[in-house]
Structure 1
Amino acid sequence: MIKNKNSERIFLIYSLSILAFYFFLIFMFSDYTDDWHNLGYVLLLFLTSVFFDIARTKTFEFTGGKVETSAVFIVNIFTAALLNPLEASLAAASSAITFKIIKLFFGERYPVSRYIFNFSQFAVNTFIVSLLFHRLSGTNTFQNILAILLSTVVYFLINNVFVFFGVYILTKGDIRETASKVLSGPVTSMALMIPVIAVIYILYQYIGFIAIPVSLAAVLSIQVGNYYRYKYYEAKLEHLKLLAKSLEEKDEYTRGHSEKVAELAKKIAKRLGFSPKMVERIYNAAFLHDIGKIGIPDHILKKPTILSKEEMMIVKNHPIMGEDILREVDIFNNRESKWVRHHHERWDGKGYPDGLRGEEIPLPSRIISVADVYEALTSDRPYRKALSHEEAKEIMMKNMKGTVLDPRLVDLLFEILEKEKEEEET
């Protein structure tokens, strides 16, 4: 609780510092604030920004947090280009907090520091971008397009820096993890928005202000379309997970195996510093690592005695069958399908199906392999009882580390598990 209060206090100081910097900018560049536009025109830009802020929020709610349109950023950049720095910054900053103020009447409350932060960071960002655009622009259309594109890059950079430090102060998390959370989405968004802004600016030169709302509506439509594409992918993924679970339900000894392997793989991937998106991909691949066994007859999978040579050849084919199944899902085609194919390779090159060795084996495959072996050793099987954690550790350390499994990942797995055990005991 004390930590949270300290974080909030520091965040408030951080927000007030940005606000003070905004007033400093107004004082330093007062020469650029003389050319005032018609109040109705400024109000129109303000209301456009508020509208798309509401559209962004509602789309975010409607899509369960999967789509957050960047249309508001585009409005702010055009506001910076069309108005003087003071007008633009006040319009953008005011629209940023207007919807939050409206939500107060519906019971949604935020700390005062959030209002100060939203207002001040949008104000500073838009002021600087407006100043930059007006200094770089001229009478040449091509020059103006370059000016607005450069202004867009600067806008995203400043916004991301402010948000990064804000999130870091509030969460006190790992700096790399914070960077991954804050920057991964916006960098992609910026790459996509730059050509969109260029097109809107060209349209604006020919058809005027109407180009902005029409173009932004098109952006929103594309993003909602991408959301439904994502939902289709999610449905396919869930279908595959259900197949994996139904396969395990046939055998009491393997019930829940894939899910446990996936959880272990996720922990290892997090400790290795993978981005949240990459961690999720490794989790999904680990969950589906044995999906290829769906093509193996039950009498082989459930056989309580040693498999014959022919039966073993059939079992060894399951990583290839798993790859074939996952390749049917477009998003799994290049990565996850390969990780599943190679999860039975060995560090010494004596594994299957391709006999890869050492770091030739994809790192996610090696992660899945370590998690798979540990979970198998510590679970009941038809031919033996589950081993204890210490027994599994002894086997993996003495007989598998550096031969079957990546030695670094074996050490990391037991470091994670033993740290968890210590935390449970305390």
Structure 2
Amino acid sequence: MARPRLVPTARSVAADVLVRVERDSAFAAAALDVELDRNIQLEPRDRALATELVYGSLRLRGWLEARLSRHAPRGLSNLPPEVRAILVIAAYQLLALERVPAFAAVSEAVSGVRAVAGERVSGFANAVLRKLSKEPKPTTDELARAALASADPALTKAIIESIGEPATLALFAATEPPPLGIRVEDASTRDSWLATLREARPSASIEPGRVSPHSIALRGAGRLTDLPGFADGAWTPQEEGSQVVALALGAREGDVVLDACAGRGNKTGLLARAVGVSGAVDAADLHPKKLERLERELGRIGQRPRSTFAVDWASGTGGATGPYDRVLVDAPCSGTGTVRRRPELLLRRAASDLDDLASLQRSILSRAATLVRPGGRLVYAVCSVLRAEAEAVVEHARQCGLTPAPFDAPVAAIVAPGDATSFRLLPSEHGTDGYFVASFVRT
């Protein structure tokens, strides 16, 4: 007999995302967007619940599976990915959420397991979840420590050694995904856009950023590209910390600038606007497809790079010749500063990866430094909180003709003392993703 097809719910959508993250190594945010678009009939509160279930369950997945396994003598590893995902989603509701009745979480999970694996496995799920539902709920602090326990032990140790235990717990304790960010192209119009967006989405939370003068943070506003102003190029989706990194370069009218790891061009757009028509911005990246998207995106906001280069910095400088007044190196990294937004990193990243990443970062920094004119500036940044990718790389910079120098960008004064040559952005202090940013002068 055919198994029943269930009407999509917040829980089933969340489970589908967890399966894609495990099976396809998908990014959670992108997979969630796809599933929500496929299930447009979900009410806003169900879409919000699906989002919370995805991010919370991934953040705690290792710990949740360990708690489930206490009541499953043979463990969970032999279960299909779909069943494991449903059980993890249910366990998250039972242990981490107050507003979801236990009977509802158990009942829907059992029905979901029955639909994908049959009656026998659903009976197993029912027994495991009912036992779990009788356990006391952990405190907020215990849940933060549970998130630490879900990641690679050596990685969490390195994070604690880098930023301290309180900041680490705050980084891992987020119970909901961070707000989405946009960059208003003309910072002087931010207040006007705040009013326009609030009128368009009266039930959403729409607030100015805390550090970048261009930033607006949104929760519950739906797809950003559906909001007024996007099609006209008045603003661009960009997380606030990413904006701060670009602004920290201090690019000014007339400067010739290189964005050495440009990606899809969010920072390039800010730099192009800063240097104006009398300056120029070149954009480099390892991936040509990203550079194609960069040119399209800059065209949407009325900007364009002078040139783009596909460069493998590990082997050379490609078509970038310099000299440049300013160079931004936003290097590939572990992404540990973004775990609020990308909790799946905790399931994939291990401390053993860090040596290779640090070697790549030093290579990029060494080669990019040769393109800075004498007296020019280079800013190095990573969306990581780890010393191995931050202070340790700064020490290497001294061997590349670079001298640490105080920032000459106004935004740096908000987050760093006047004579500071580096700063960290942390979610607990600035509301941004976690970043390390350092400033140098070419000598």
TM-score between the two structures when normalised by the length of structure 1: 0.26
More relative contact order in 1 or in 2 (CA 8 Å, sep 6+)? Answer: 2
Higher strand share: 2
Higher helix share: 1
TM-score between the two structures when normalised by the length of structure 2: 0.25
- Please say which structure displays the higher CA radius of gyration: 1
